[in-house]
Amino acid sequence: MARALKLTENGRLTSTPNPSVGCVIVKRGRIIGEGWHEKAGQPHAEVNALARCSEDPAGATVYVTLEPCAHHGRTPPCAEALVRAKVSRVVAAIEDPNPQVAGKGLVRLREANIRSEVGLMAAEARRAHRGFLSRMAHGRPWVTLKVGASLDGGTALRNGASRWITSAAARKDVHALRARACGVLTGIGSVHADDPALTVRDVPCTRQPLKIVVDSRLEVADSARVLEGGNALIVTASGDGTRIEALRQRGTVVERVAAEPLRGKVDLAAMMQTLGRLGLNEVMVEAGTRLNGSLVQAGVVDEVVAYLAPSLLGDEALGMFALGELTGLDQRIALTLSEVRRIGPDLRISATVGAL
């Protein structure tokens, strides 16, 4: 199963909106076949592993990171392929929460007298498939919010200067995070201030993530770098049909979502539901302090990855999250640390939102 989980990395950048499942087939204590889901619309991991078997898989044990599907989608059901192959046992790390599957694959295998088990290395599989699981369970992608700051939490000087607080090594690591994501999201304030490209540049990447801008009033300039080369999505609350059509004519996708009742800003929870419907499994946020705070308060952030540089910017610097004044410690946002490590001279701290 550990090997199957490792194989999920091979399809992570290309399988979306499907999960990047890995599969290993073992017979008489030897791996005879392995595969992963390479691209949506193409054969799933189990079918690829069967096709690559070095000998007849009859009587073999199949280790797969997600329950085999049992429905006809763009490809035939994997459970039926395993039945035809006459394997004797299937071990799935977790059940598939997709309503079209949801235990039906395991049932079909058991009907064919194939021993079927679930739960081996489940925690690791949930992390590997976190984006797909989030979209199935909550209707929205898994959201990772990245922030770079000084050791005292400053992300920019009061005058807006912020390049570069963290090191080149940290920035390269950020590009690896971008490469994993289906989309990279920022706000119109960051577009005006920094004119980011939001592309993956410093690490190998087989597909660029979707560039997403939260722009409630459609203030993005035609010259903004984020619009270059297409592959951009503007999420807005504006009903300016002329501006929307002009953006679409130049290849930019525009999605209008509900506005917050009082401020007229994009409803961030509704926006994430829209991104889920578009098939995005994982979204990375690279935004300013105000949007960071608003996303956390909207309850749509799953993970924070903070890069802390060994420097101090002082109490006049801008912070990581604009959360407003808290009047009691019970109002604080609880986090659970998942990883702390050095990246060059900086610290990278990963934490999921919520207490243990």
Positions annotated as catalytic residues are 46
Burial class (CB in 10 A: 0-12, 13-18, 19+), 296: buried
Q: CA 292 to CA 158: how far, in whole Å?
A: 17
Question: Which helix H or strand E contains 183, and what residues bound it?
Answer: strand 183-187
| Strand 115-118 to 89-92 pairing | parallel
Interacting residues of 118 by C-beta distance below 8 A, sequence separation 6+? 67, 91, 92, 93, 94, 95, 106
Name residue 185's amino acid: L
What is the CA 229 to chain-centroid distance, rounded?
Answer: 22
Q: CA 156 to CA 56: how far, in whole Å?
A: 61
Interacting residues of 199 by C-beta distance below 8 A, sequence separation 6+? 178, 208, 211
Helix (H, G, I), strand (E, B), or coil: what is residue 166?
A: coil
- List the beta bridge partners of residue 308: 149, 347
Tokens of 273: 């539901």
Backbone angles phi, psi at 290, to 5 degrees: -70, -50
- Per DSSP, helices labelled H in 210-313 are 241-249, 268-277, 289-297
Q: With CA atoms as reference, report the closest residue to 267 among 259, 277, 255, 275.
A: 259
Helix (H, G, I), strand (E, B), or coil: what is residue 148?
A: strand
Q: CA 294 to CA 91: how far, in whole Å?
A: 42
Cα–Cα–Cα angle for 197, 37, 111, rounded to 5 degrees: 145
